[in-house]
Amino acid sequence: MKILYVEDSAAAALVMRRRLSSFGHAVVLAKNGQEAVQMFRIEAPDLVLMDIEMPVMNGFEAASLIRAVEATQSWAWTPIIFLTASDTEENLITAIEAGGDDFIAKTVTEPVLQAKMKAMTRIATLRRGLTIANQKLEALASSDGLTGLCNRRSMDNRVDASFADAVQLQQPFGLLMIDIDNFKKYNDHYGHQQGDDCLRSVALAIASTVKTDNARTGNDAAFAARYGGEEFAVVLPMASAERTASLAHALVSAISALGIAHEKNADWGCVTISVGGAHLPQASGKIAELFRAADACLYQAKDKGRNRAELSI
Distance of CA 12 to the CA centre of its chain: 40
The span from the CA of 175 to the CA of 276, in Å, is 8
The span from the CA of 151 to the CA of 138, in Å, is 12
Contact present, 234 and 252 (Cβ < 8 Å): no
Identify any residues that bridge with 226 across adjacent strands, giving them in sequence order.
Answer: 232
The span from the CA of 98 to the CA of 82, in Å, is 11
Give catalytic status of residue 230 as yes or no: yes
Task: Report CA dihedral (165, 230, 182, 203) to the nearest 10 degrees.
Answer: 80
Catalytic residue, from 230, 231, 263, 310: name it. 230
Contact present, 143 and 151 (Cβ < 8 Å): yes
The span from the CA of 181 to the CA of 235, in Å, is 20
Instruction: Give whole-number Cα distances, 242 to 163, 173, 277, in Å.
Output: 19, 12, 11
Phi, psi (rounded to 5 degrees) for 272: -135, 170
Active site residues: 230
